């Protein structure tokens, strides 16, 4: 398997580099970022030891398409995508929170609810809810944005009270979050999918709020298949879904939740390829067109060549 697990480039005009859990971000001058979506995969805030073939390409191309499809709602950071695994865009000052929005109670929210919690990010939850049940109105449940370790749930009041985001800016972030989720929900429905929950990240430049990072990818979002949802829900069965949650469930079943002393289970080539197939399936389902695998023999050289060519002609 030829996967991109790490990068170490020196691009023209490069001033800094940040290696995240999945993305490597290179600063060019003061105003431009080169974001490379690697094939790394993380779960429970832990980067797993093996990469997933074509995952970076899937994430980058889905995000790129959705950034283009929502640019009328909110300005976004994207300028170009010179390589299947790369987006080049405007550098913004990120807000220190992630805007998570949930249309259904599932995943970590359900795990908390099942354990007895009835308050989520300052929002009251009714008794008697069932896993994968739809909320009457989508809930915004923000988290802190941690450079290392776990993101933590936080309420609207705490965000404003701690000065993480001004009240004026936070109101605008809420408006953008609801509007983006509504657009994503409609686009998913046309493809027979339910956008269950997702997260958005925003930044600011010259007084303007921008949507940054990725949007509506399987790493940042959860999708159910529309067909059969109600029947499965009524029977209490697991939903057929396309998201990274299946990786989390596999890890939980094999005794790993990112806690101290726990070991990541063996990731065989067959398992990594099966995860790759799920990512490609989501791409084809949500985008509505066949996934074209880019040449992967010399990933590092291909990316360097394409990025340098773009920077030479555009910056």
Domain 14-92+268-314 grouped into CATH 3.30.200.20: yes
For residue 315, the model assigns a pLDDT of: 62
For residue 244, the model assigns a pLDDT of: 81
Q: Within 13 Å and on the Cβ side, how many CA atoms surround 227? A: 3
Residue written as tokens 């499965």?
232
Rounded to 5°, the CA angle 264-19-16 comes to 170
For residue 149, the model assigns a pLDDT of: 58
From start to end of the chain, where are the E strands? 14-19, 23-28, 32-37, 42-43, 46-47, 78-83, 86-90, 93-94, 97-104, 119-120, 123-124, 134-140, 143-144, 193-205, 208-212, 221-225, 241-243
- CA distances to 4, 241, 299 from 302, rounded to whole Å, are 11, 33, 5
The pLDDT profile of the chain, 315 residues, written as one tens digit per residue, is 689 999 999 999 999 999 999 999 999 999 999 999 999 999 988 999 999 999 999 999 999 999 999 999 999 999 999 999 999 999 999 999 999 999 999 988 999 999 999 999 999 999 999 999 999 999 999 999 876 656 799 999 999 999 999 999 999 999 999 999 999 999 999 999 999 999 999 999 999 999 999 999 888 899 999 999 999 999 999 998 877 878 988 999 999 999 999 999 999 999 999 999 988 988 999 999 999 999 988 999 999 999 999 999 986
* Domain range annotation of the chain: 14-92+268-314, 94-243
**Cβ neighbours around 296 below 10 Å, total:** 17
For residue 148, the model assigns a pLDDT of: 61
Helix (H, G, I), strand (E, B) or coil at 267: coil
Fold type of domain 94-243: D-amino Acid Aminotransferase; Chain A, domain 1 (3.30.470)
For residue 243, the model assigns a pLDDT of: 75
| Local structure of residue 217 (DSSP, 8 states) | -
For residue 150, the model assigns a pLDDT of: 67
The pTM of the full predicted model, rounded to 2 decimals, is 0.90
Is-contact 22 219, C-beta < 8 A?
A: yes
For residue 112, the model assigns a pLDDT of: 94
For residue 173, the model assigns a pLDDT of: 98
């Amino acid at each position: 398997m030829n996967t991109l697990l790490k990068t170490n480039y020196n691009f023209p005009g490069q001033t800094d580099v940040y290696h995240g859990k999945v993305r490597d971000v290179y600063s060019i001058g003061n105003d431009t970022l080169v974001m490379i979506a690697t094939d790394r995969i993380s779960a429970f805030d832990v980067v797993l030891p093996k990469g997933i073939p074509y995952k970076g390409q899937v994430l980058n191309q889905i995000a790129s398409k959705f950034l283009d499809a929502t640019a009328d709602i909110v300005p976004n950071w994207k300028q170009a995508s010179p390589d299947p695994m790369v987006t080049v865009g405007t550098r913004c000052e990120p807000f220190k929170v992630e805007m998570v929005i949930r249309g259904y109670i599932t995943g970590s929210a359900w795990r908390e609810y099942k354990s007895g919690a009835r308050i989520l990010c300052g929002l009251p939850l009714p008794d008697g809810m069932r896993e994968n049940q739809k909320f009457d109105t989508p809930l915004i449940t923000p988290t802190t944005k941690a450079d290392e370790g776990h993101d933590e749930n936080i309420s609207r009041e705490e965000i404003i009270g701690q000065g993480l985001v001004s009240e004026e800016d936070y109101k605008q972030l809420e408006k953008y979050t609801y509007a983006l989720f509504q657009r994503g929900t409609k686009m998913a429905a046309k493809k027979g999918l339910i956008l269950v929950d997702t997260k958005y990240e925003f930044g600011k430049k010259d007084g303007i709020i921008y949507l940054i990072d990725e949007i509506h990818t399987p790493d940042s979002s959860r999708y159910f298949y529309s067909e059969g949802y109600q029947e499965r829900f009524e029977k209490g069965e697991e939903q057929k879904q396309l998201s990274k949650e299946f990786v989390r469930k596999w890890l939980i079943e094999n005794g790993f939740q990112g806690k101290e002393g726990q070991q990541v289970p063996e990731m065989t080539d067959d398992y990594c390829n099966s995860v790759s197939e799920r990512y490609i399936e989501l791409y084809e389902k949500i985008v509505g067109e066949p996934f074209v695998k880019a040449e992967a023999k010399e990933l590092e050289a291909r990316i360097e060549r394409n990025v340098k060519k773009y920077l030479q002609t555009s910056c």
